[in-house]
């Protein structure tokens, strides 16, 4: 028996029938309860019980589980930023992340990566937490994490998911046993491995993913399909066909545009056969007229290939089906079918009011298939429409800026949603051809500074104009009347450009 069980038994039988035994009790309790002197056994029993109860509750040291220490943080593989840049980073992360602070932080991270610099250790937890809530920070954080940041991120699942393949660290390669890491690695490690294998050994990357596809989480299946896009090849077709049968809509919807970029695939042949009877060319004395014969129904094969049956609110059912069927077909089908070049096709007459549907379908196809020739042709008829920004993003960066600079022209002097949207389609820093056009408008501003489309252009300019424009804009602000809204707007813009200039200089 234990000491407590001895006390319990004595209490039940009574001290007259059973002696009080303190030998099994913890030493401090036994010593205190069995103090010398002529004591009544019942008193000794009660004292022992009174002392033993709190001792049992609070008198023991808590058990300490055996903990295997993790590996120590490695030395960083990128040089740390200097004191001035570190202080700037602390100021950007210590304030609430509004739109301006977020954009500045994303630019700071990109500039640090371009300079080959890493983060101070104290900044790692803050930035990893921000990246879990902000896609822009997540997309630019990887290259500056360094080996120490990646070591830290692996200890928390939400941080580990940020270690995506698109952000490999300098000098990192494929491990000696990629199959072992694929089988045992955490989410971030496996995504990083997959992207690196897509460059180093695409066949092995495809083999590993194909073998584990049915066991991957939905989020990982989505991420791996996204990682296929930069190095997509015809050999990926079987895996993408498997993804078309996935139970999750989000996975199927990622596979469809990838298959649309494989013009020789079985998907492309099915889509072409489905679309061929939908667009008809009629040659008349006045020229070629196109006609649209929308599908009468959508079968299961079309649904598997990504055609959605239920149209959006306000769109007719057959118009919705026609747009999707035409959009899925290879764009090379239409010049071959009609004998017309792309430039004439997009400007052709379309009978019975189907022109918007047909142009919308070709726009969807140009975006999905990344066809620059079609994008340019469609911009000729739809630059200032709602699809203009989507088409601009298909162009190369240099072509994009040049096209937008020419297109916006005098439109900068007038409030216009379309003009603002075209500017937003050009990432910063803007090349000179576009930056000089925008700066020329700002130096001699016209229109209401408080219109929201103009405010949005000012916000874009603050983060996408090259920083050397700060002085000219400061001078332009000084020329405005003291109570002019443009004075305040241009001053704020100049201040942001100056802030960015100092921020970038600190990272050199």
In this predicted model, what pLDDT tens digit does every residue of 335-390 receive, in sequence order?
A: 999 999 999 999 999 999 999 999 999 999 999 999 999 999 999 998 788 899 99
- The model's pLDDT over 280-291, given as tens digits with 9 standing for 90+, comes to 998 776 678 999
134 in the same domain as 39: no
DSSP assignment, residue 262?
-
361 belongs to a structural domain: yes
279 in the same domain as 256: no
* Overall residue count recorded for the chain in this entry: 508
Residues 6+ apart with CB under 8 A from 159: 128, 131, 132, 152, 153, 188
HEC letters along 80-121: ECCHHHHHHHHHHHCCCCCHHHHHHHHHHHHHHHHCCCECCH
Read off the tokens for 197: 């294998």
For residue 284, list its beta bridge partners: 287
Rounded CA gap, 243 and 211, in Å?
A: 13
Query: 238-282 pLDDT, tens per residue?
Result: 999 999 999 999 999 999 999 999 999 999 999 999 999 999 998
Average pLDDT (461-489) is 93
- Burial letters 448-476, b for 16+ CB under 10 A, else e: ebeeebbbebbbbbbbbbbbebbebbbeb
- Distance from CA of residue 22 to its chain's centroid? 68
pLDDT of residue 460: 94
Shared-domain flag, residues 361 and 467: no
The pLDDT assigned to 37 comes to: 57
Q: Is residue 376 situated within a structural domain?
A: no
Number of domains in the chain: 5
Q: Report whether 266 contacts 248 (CB < 8 A).
A: no
- The mean pLDDT value for 308-329 works out to 96
pTM score, whole prediction: 0.77
Residue 172 maps to a domain: no
Query: Can you tell me the mean pLDDT for 391-399?
Result: 92
**Distances, alpha carbon 231 to alpha carbons 181, 206, 370, 398, in Å:** 22, 12, 14, 22
Domain end call among 130, 160, 190: 160
Domain C-terminal end among 160, 189, 219? 160
Looking at the domain assignment, is residue 379 inside a domain?
no
Which residues span the domain enclosing 227? 178-262
Whether residues 201 and 156 share a domain: the answer is no
Whether residue 402 is found in the same domain as residue 334 = no
Q: What is the pLDDT of residues 55-83, one digit of tens each?
A: 877 766 667 777 677 778 888 888 899 99
Shared domain for 406 and 506, answered yes or no, is: yes
**What does the alpha-carbon distance between residue 249 and residue 243 come to, in Å, rounded to a whole number?**
10
Q: How confident is the model at residue 484 (pLDDT cuts 50, 70, 90)?
A: confident
Q: Are residues 321 and 253 in the same domain?
A: no
Asked which of 98, 133, 160 is the last residue of a domain, the reply is: 160
Residues 37, 119 within the same domain: no
DSSP state of 409: G
Phi, psi of 350 (to 5 degrees): -125, 125
Q: Does 57 map to a domain?
A: no
On whether residue 167 sits in a domain, the answer given is no
| Of 421, 431, 405, residue with least CA distance to 453 | 421
Does residue 418 share a domain with residue 504?
Answer: yes
User: If you ran DSSP here, which 8-state letter would residue 309 be given?
Assistant: S
| Phi then psi dihedrals of residue 289, to 5 deg | -115, 135
pLDDT the model gives residue 54: 83
Q: Is the pLDDT of residue 489 over 70?
A: yes
Q: Helix 372-382 to helix 355-369 angle, to the nearest 10 degrees?
A: 140
Beta bridge partners of residue 282, listed in sequence order: 289
Mean pLDDT of the chain: 88
Residues 254 and 279 in one domain: no
CA pair distance 63, 495, nearest whole angstrom: 59
Q: Are residues 182 and 151 in the same domain?
A: no
Sheet of 279-284, strand order? 279-284, 287-292, 349-350
- Number of CB atoms found within 10 A of residue 43's CB: 12
- 488 and 435 share one domain: yes
Domain assignment present for 56: no
> Does any domain span residue 142?
yes
pLDDT of residue 89: 94
pLDDT, tens only, 140-198: 998 898 889 988 988 888 888 787 534 444 335 677 889 998 998 877 778 888 988 99
């Amino acid at each position: 028996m234990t000491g407590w069980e001895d006390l319990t038994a004595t209490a039940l039988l009574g001290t007259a029938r059973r002696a009080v035994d303190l030998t099994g009790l913890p030493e401090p309790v036994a010593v205190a309860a069995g103090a010398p002197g002529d004591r009544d056994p019942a008193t000794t029993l009660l004292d022992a019980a009174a002392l033993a109860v709190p001792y049992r509750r609070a008198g023991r040291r808590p058990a300490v589980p055996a903990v295997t220490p993790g590996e120590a943080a490695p030395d960083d593989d990128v040089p740390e930023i200097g004191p001035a840049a570190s202080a700037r980073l602390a100021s950007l992360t210590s304030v609430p992340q509004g739109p301006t602070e977020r954009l500045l932080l994303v630019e700071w991270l990109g500039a640090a990566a371009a300079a080959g610099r890493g983060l101070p250790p104290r900044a790692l937890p803050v930035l990893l937490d921000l990246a879990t809530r902000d896609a822009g920070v997540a997309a630019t954080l990887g290259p500056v994490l360094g080996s120490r940041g990646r070591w830290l991120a692996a200890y928390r699942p939400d941080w580990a998911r940020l270690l995506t393949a698109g952000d490999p660290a300098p000098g990192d390669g494929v491990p000696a046993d990629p199959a072992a890491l694929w089988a045992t690695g955490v989410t971030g490690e496996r995504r990083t491995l997959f992207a690196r294998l897509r460059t180093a050994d695409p066949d092995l990357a495809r083999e590993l993913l194909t073998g584990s596809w049915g066991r991957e989480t939905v989020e990982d299946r989505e991420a791996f399909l996204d990682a296929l896009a930069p190095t997509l090849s015809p050999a990926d077709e079987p895996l993408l066909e498997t993804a078309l049968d996935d139970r999750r809509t989000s996975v199927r919807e990622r596979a469809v545009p990838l298959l649309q970029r494989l013009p020789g695939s079985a998907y492309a042949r099915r889509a072409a056969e489905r679309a061929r009877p939908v667009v008809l060319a009629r040659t008349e004395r006045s020229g070629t007229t196109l006609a649209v014969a929308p599908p009468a129904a959508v079968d299961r094969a079309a649904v598997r290939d990504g055609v959605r049956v239920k149209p959006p609110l306000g769109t007719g059912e057959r118009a919705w089906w026609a747009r999707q069927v035409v959009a899925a077909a290879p764009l090379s089908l239409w010049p071959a079918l009609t004998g017309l070049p792309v430039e004439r096709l997009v400007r052709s007459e379309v009978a019975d009011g189907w022109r918007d549907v047909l142009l919308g379908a070709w726009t969807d196809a140009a975006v999905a298939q990344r066809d620059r020739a079609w994008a340019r042709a469609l911009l000729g008829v739809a630059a200032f429409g709602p699809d203009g920004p989507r088409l601009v993003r298909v162009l190369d960066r240099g072509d994009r800026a040049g096209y937008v600079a020419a297109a916006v022209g005098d439109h900068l002097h007038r409030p216009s949603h379309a003009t603002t949207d075209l500017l937003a389609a050009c990432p910063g820093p803007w090349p000179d051809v576009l930056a000089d056009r925008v700066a020329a408008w700002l130096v001699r501003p016209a229109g209401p500074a408080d219109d929201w489309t103009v405010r949005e252009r000012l916000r874009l300019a603050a983060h996408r104009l090259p920083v050397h424009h700060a002085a000219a804009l400061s001078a332009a602000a000084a020329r405005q009347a003291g109570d002019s809204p443009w004075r305040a707007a241009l001053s704020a813009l100049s201040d942001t450009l100056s802030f960015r200039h100092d921020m970038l200089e600190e990272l050199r």
